[in-house]
Amino acid sequence: MDGGPVSAPAPERLEVLPVGGLPELRPGDDLPKLIAKCAPWLENGDVVVVTSKAVSKVEGQLRTVPSDVDGRDAARQQAISDEAVRVVAARGPTRIVQTRHGFVIAAAGVDASNVQNDEIALLPVDSDASAARIRAGISDALGVDVAVIVSDTAGRAWRVGVTDHAVGVAGMTALLSLRGETDPQGNVLIVTEVAVADEAAAAADLVKGKLTGIPVAVVRGLSTVDDGRGVSTLLRGGEDDMFSLGTAEALAEGRRQAVTARRSVRFFTAEPVDPEAVRRAVAAAITAPAPHHTTPWRFVLVETASVRERLLTAMRSRWAEDLAGDGFTPAQIARRLRRGDLLVEAPLLVVPCLVTTDGAHSYPDTRRSDAERTMFHVAMGAGVENFLVALAAEGLGSCWVSSTLFCADLVRAELDLPADWQPMGSVAVGHAAVAPADRPPRDPDAFLLRR
């Protein structure tokens, strides 16, 4: 099929007919046969609009959930997370998400209405395919060629109230183009495209309604053509979506998610790390707070394989010497050294360094000079945490390990760093090979003291 939208003449008369008499639907029911039985009067060219909930029920897109209010809500929130590929907007428990089908819709279309109270319904897996199956089934049963729309109910970003729209289409063009047509005043229409499948879905809903228990209606009189492209032409995506970044709340939610997504990742795949992603993470790191308006953070990207090998070999020797000096046996030392393997195996090694020479105050007494040093150390921690969180937001795993802190002189020599750069551990960066285990829940109240 050619990709462009197509046009069809406007109807002279339109009828919207409810299909009554359908039984309560359950998984496995033959929906096309039931529709044919209740609407033997279907004609060629009719548009049969089926509520997605009915399709979800017969296709078993139901999840069993606890019947108590809290359990049901938690299960619903989980189902929304499972169906979502990204959060577009969020406020409190309400989430507008993009589903894996590509729809931007509240709660991922996960619905607890018109189902048993220990169930929730997800959208059909592939509503275009569902529409095509219903269309074929009706044709088999009645010998008529109808179009089928699977419809769902949704709110609109800028208008109050819900309407129905198409989530699956078969046998008709979802988007009609009036481009190039001339209006009665003689103006040539440049960009007008009509979401005719959405309009038909909304019209059908006028006779189906939310409370009547009628999940199917027929729009008769619409002249349909078929571009064979299903619902896809109705989905605005990529560069055409001016609101793809969503709301400030969604961005805040995304930031919260990035913070909690950061975990120490110790096993990486061989996939290389995108240097631009690291650059963006450094850009985030250097927005951390620091004393006296200073910018004490530096990040050494150890990119040259030979430099990294030399550095890590020297660090291992020093560590082994230290451990031997502490009285550890060779076997114990070997076991400990293996913990450093992640620095060898990570696709990228970064050494964060602290520079206090431009802006730290000096004091004659240790009380104040210790506090000054601590201030810069905590600022370094803030910078590195920003870095790690930003890496997590980029989908990268990391592990900040002490390592270079214990052999600063050696690291400065191997990396040819200025004398006032203080290595602050190292950060292994890469794509996680194994997802870290779930963090045990922590109760913020246990970390809080109020005065």
Ligand X SMILES: Cc1cc2nc3c(=O)[nH]c(=O)nc-3n(C[C@H](O)[C@H](O)[C@H](O)COP(=O)(O)O)c2cc1C
Tokens 């919207």 -> residue: 16
Q: Name the strand (E) or helix (H) holding 193.
A: strand 193-194
Element (H, E) at 167: strand 163-170
Would you say 421 and 358 are in contact if contact means Cβ atoms under 8 Å apart?
Answer: no
CB of 380 to ligand X, least distance (A): 9
Is beta strand 397-401 parallel, antiparallel or unpaired with respect to 216-220?
A: unpaired
Nearer to ligand X, 246 or 397 (CB): 397
User: Smallest gap, in angstroms, from Cβ of residue 398 to ligand X?
Assistant: 9
User: What is the Cα–Cα distance from 249 to 89, expressed in whole angstroms?
Assistant: 6
**Cα(206)–Cα(18) distance, integer angstroms:** 9
Pairing state of beta strands 147-154 and 47-51? parallel
Which CB atom, from 251 or from 261, has the smaller least distance to ligand X? 261
If the CB atoms of residues 291 and 436 are measured against ligand X, the closer one turns out to be 436
Least spacing, CB of residue 425 vs ligand X, in Å: 5
Phi, psi of 381 (to 5 degrees): -60, -40
CB of 125 to ligand X, least distance (A): 35
Contact residues for ligand X, defined by CB under 6 A: 263-264, 399-402, 425, 436
| Owner of token pair 């199917």 | 216
Nearer to ligand X, 63 or 263 (CB): 263
Least distance between ligand X and beta carbon 335 (Å):
14
- CA 158 to the chain's CA centroid: 23
Q: How far, in Å, are 40, 114, 207, 248, 312 from residue 59 at the CA level?
A: 23, 15, 24, 37, 57
Question: What's the min distance (Å) between Cβ of 260 and ligand X?
Answer: 9
230 or 425: whose CB is closer to ligand X? Answer: 425
Nearest approach in angstroms of CB 90 to ligand X is: 24
> 264 or 374: whose CB is closer to ligand X?
264
Nearer to ligand X, 225 or 261 (CB): 261
Helical segments of 84-195, H only = 127-142
